[in-house]
A and B are shown apart, each in its own frame.
Chain A
Amino acid sequence: MSKPEKLIENGIRLDGRKPDELRPIKIKVGVLNRADGSCYFEFGGNKVIAAVYGPREVHPRHQQKSTSAVVRYRYNMASFSVEERKRPGPDRRSIEVSKVSREALEPVIFEEYFPRSAIDIFVEVLQADAGTRTAGINAASIALADAGIPMKSLVSSCAVGKIDDTLVLDLNKDEDNYGQADMPVAMTPDGRITLLQMDGHLTKEEFSEGLEMAKTGCLAIHEMQKAALIEKYSSQMEGDINE
């Protein structure tokens, strides 16, 4: 797609959303049997799967910490997740995303409960449509809870950006490509920010306003994450009554 003339018209975006509207979200908890915790997360056109293993023994041994667990996060894009085939394997971008995502989750995990062990988080992007790191963090935080790992809270994440001089929540692919700024944010429900990145330009005022929009977005996502976790068990309960 070439650059559209306008990304937003009369307060309606190309995909029909209002500036402060999130893309539709679909969550399913416990989709993998082998993993200790797992989650499938759809965030508009993004489709990601997160798997959590651990706490378990650390291999290679030299990575282990004697007083706390090591958290390892692997973000990976499937070669078919984007239009032009993505060369498989880690690259500069995915290593960076892995690092910042790990750091977005580490503050809430009670690492000190499990010395000499590892908590491994794997995020696979099956389909990408801008904002995969935020989708990955949302999914990983649910998978961690599903694995029974003690945490201070869940982490929720979404992006704000600027298109045609307007601040908008949760950019899609075209808005990301042709917009003026993109700022992914991750935070706990009580407003502690664990991830904040930006590319493009925002004024001081836009930054503050954007952050407030992201906060509202994250809170909405947090409610959906909570509902999905509770759903996992209540749906089983209903299923058994029907038997």
Chain B
Amino acid sequence: MEMDKKLVIPGEFLSDDVNLADEGTYVEDGKVFSSVFGIASLKNHIRVVPLSGKYIPRPGDLVIGIITEVSFSNWIVDIRSPYDGLLHISEFPRRIESQDMSKYITVGDSIMTLVRDVDPSMKVELTLNDQRLRQIKEGRIIEVKPSKVPRLIGRSGSMIAMLKNETNCNIFVGQNGRIWMTGKDKDLELAVKAISKIDRESHISGLTDRMIKFLKEEKSKHGKESEKEVEKEEIKIEEVVEEEKPAEREEVEEEKSGGILDELLGDDR
């Protein structure tokens, strides 16, 4: 662990300078104490990043939600938090009628959404009214602990950029610890492996180096396997020539949506 970081428990004394107190701390008698069990960083601001805990929504968070209910004018969305998210009909990008709501988004659908507002009683309002937001219709969603999200993204997005690069997948990390990925099946598999490794080991130092090593090893393993499989696939293709055309069309569509995803992820960080 770096010099300015240390593992602290709730109630541990951190500093005499009240002005530096930030998240994960509380002030009493002019002193700063840790309020959670986590890793304290003492440079600039004093903050403690908890090692576990639930996702608590905040305005401006980009999250991935799953619709649990469609009511008269709201979609009720599970955002993996103690509080349900509310997506009002007026926050849909287009004007739609109340009775048509479930034609557009229905129970079980996933959406990439933005926390628009959270009031003091923790009523969470969501929106889809933003260029970056959309319904999720393809790819895979996996979950990590919400406390691991900062490590998964890395310093100014370095970790996630590396992952995207090495796995050839589009990866979007929701603040609530849900992750949306699109790409080829093989690549997705590698990405899932890599992300669950981060989920397990993010508190151990030297994470980035280990991840690079891990990805290299996995790839060289798969490199040999996939060469063999390519040969097999070629044979298969000859057998099913007739089915090729619809498949091609599908691929084009995939690429297109991937492109949009890339754009919106580009301006995310």
Chain B: CB-nearest residue to A119: B82
Query: Are A152 and B9 CB-contacts (below 8 A) given A36-B52, A115-B121, A240-B201?
Result: no
By a CB distance below 8 angstroms, the chain B residues around A96 are none
**B7 contacts A233, CB within 8 Å?**
yes
Interface: B36 (CB within 8 A): yes
Nearest Cβ on chain B to A40's Cβ, whole angstroms: 17
Question: What is the chain A residue whose CB lies nearest that of B84?
Answer: A57
Task: Determine whether the beta carbon of B51 is less than 8 Å from that of A110.
Answer: no
Q: Are A154 and B52 in contact (CB under 8 A)?
A: no
Given contacts A240-B201, A240-B204, contact A152 B53 (CB under 8 A): no
Q: Does A17 contact B (CB under 8 A)?
A: no
Q: Does B24 contact A (CB under 8 A)?
A: yes
Smallest CB–CB gap between A243 and chain B, Å? 10
Asked if residues A147 and B10 are in contact (CB atoms below 8 Å), the reply is: no
Chain B residues near A81 (CB-CB < 8 A): none
- Given A150-B35, A151-B35, A189-B11, A116–B122 Cβ distance below 8 Å? yes
A117, B84: Cα distance in complex, Å: 11
Q: A115-B120, A151-B11 are in contact. Are A37 and B35 (CB under 8 A)?
A: no
B89 to A: closest C-beta gap in Å: 24
Q: Is the CB of A114 within 8 A of B82?
A: yes
B173-203, CB under 8 A of A: which get 1 and which 0? 0000000000000000000000000000101
Q: Give the size of the chain B interface in residues (CB under 8 angstroms).
A: 28
- In angstroms, how far is the closest chain B Cβ from the Cβ of A93? 30
Residue of A nearest to B147 (CB): A148
Residues in A whose Cβ lies below 8 Å from that of B10: 108, 145, 150-154
Proximity bits, B98-120, A CB within 8 Å = 1, else 0: 00000000000000000000001
- Closest residue of chain A to B39 (Cβ to Cβ) is A233
Main secondary structure of the interface of A (DSSP, over half): mixed
Could you tell me if A116 and B83 are in contact, using CB atoms closer than 8 angstroms? yes
In the complex, the chain B residue whose C-beta lies closest to that of A29 is B37
Instruction: Check if A150 sits within 8 Å of B36, measured CB to CB.
Output: yes
Interface contact B37-A229, CB-CB below 8 Å: yes
Query: A54 → chain B, closest Cβ, in Å?
Result: 7
- A117 touches which of B83, B203, B204 (Cβ 8 Å): B83
Q: Return chain A residues, CB-CB under 8 Å to B56.
A: 113-114
Measured between alpha carbons, how far is A5 from B28 in the docked complex, in Å? Answer: 51
Q: How many residues of A contact B (CB 8 A)?
A: 37
CA distance A153 to B31 in the complex (A): 14
Encode contact with A along B119-138: 1 for CB under 8 Å, 0 otherwise.
Answer: 01110000000000000000
| B50 within 8 A of partner (CB) | yes
Q: Does A149 contact B (CB under 8 A)?
A: yes
Partner of B54, one of A54, A230, A236, A240: A54
Judge whether B172 is part of the interface by a CB distance below 8 angstroms: no
Please indicate the chain A residues that have their CB under 8 angstroms from the CB of B38 in the complex.
148
Partner of A229, one of B9, B83, B120, B201: B9
Whether B50 contacts A152 by the Cβ 8 Å rule is no
Determine whether the beta carbon of A145 is less than 8 Å from that of B54. Answer: no
When A148-B50, A150-B10 are in contact, do A116 and B121 touch as well, CB less than 8 Å? yes
Q: Is B52 within 8 A of A148, CB to CB? A: yes
- Check: A146 CB closer than 8 A to any chain B CB: yes
Judged by a CB distance under 8 angstroms, whether A131 is at the interface is: no
Tell me the complex Cα distance, A155–B203, Å.
26
The docked-state distance in angstroms from the alpha carbon of A116 to that of B56 is 13
Q: Name B38's closest neighbour in chain A (CB-CB).
A: A148
B26 on the A face (CB < 8 A): yes
Contact in complex: A56, B82 (CB < 8 Å): yes
B75 at the interface (CB under 8 A from A): no
Report yes or no: B122 in contact with A188, Cβ–Cβ below 8 A. no
Closest B residue by C-beta to A241 = B204
A154 touches B11 (CB 8 A): yes
Establish whether residues A148 and B53, one from each chain, have CB atoms under 8 Å apart when the complex forms.
yes
A106→B35 CA distance, assembly (Å): 14
Tell me, rounded to whole Å, the shortest Cβ–Cβ distance linking A222 to chain B.
9
29 contacts between A and B (CB under 8 A): A37-B52, A54-B54, A54-B82, A55-B82, A108-B10, A114-B82, A114-B122, A116-B121, A116-B122, A117-B83, A145-B10, A145-B37, A148-B51, A149-B36, A150-B10, A150-B35, A151-B36, A152-B10, A152-B11, A152-B26, A153-B10, A153-B11, A154-B10, A225-B9, A229-B9, A229-B37, A230-B7, A234-B7, A236-B201
